Amino acid sequence: SQQGEEDPQALSIQEGENATMNCSYKTSINNLQWYRQNSGRGLVHLILIRSNEREKHSGRLRVTLDTSKKSSSLLITASRAADTASYFCAGNFNKFYFGSGTKLNVKP
């Protein structure tokens, strides 16, 4: 079974809206990472948040981490059609695991 689970599995929004994706995991982590995958492409690293950090920003991306709840969220603000992709959380849960992903569709 996956160590990381994203929620929702799919999300469809209009351009300009914010998109929030959540990740829950089961064991303790050193850090948690978020990746993006465009259809038919390799994964692209977006952001890494360490276990002692609560929030991190990178451009239009904001990631939060709640180690007590074993959950993380990725917020994309002012979404664009080019943000359409699958988004995965990943972490070193004794072994490196990727979650099942959220498919984001941003409609122009």
Partner 1 sequence: DAGVIQSPRHEVTEMGQEVTLRCKPISGHNSLFWYRQTMMRGLELLIYFNNNVPIDDSGMPEDRFSAKMPNASFSTLKIQPSEPRDSAVYFCASSASGGLNGAQYFGPGTRLTVL
- The binding site for partner 1 (CB under 8 A) comprises 2, 30-31, 33, 41-45, 48, 88, 92, 95-101
3-state secondary structure at position 64: strand
Backbone angles phi, psi at 10, to 5 degrees: -145, 145
Q: Which of 1, 68, 60 is nearest to 34 (CA)?
A: 60
Q: Specify the residue, 64 or 92, whose C-beta has the smaller distance to partner 1.
A: 92
Q: Specify the residue, 25 or 97, whose C-beta has the smaller distance to partner 1.
A: 97
Q: How far is the CB of 22 from partner 1 (least distance, A)?
A: 17
**Residue 75 token pair:** 């917020």
Q: Specify the residue, 10 or 96, whose C-beta has the smaller distance to partner 1.
A: 96
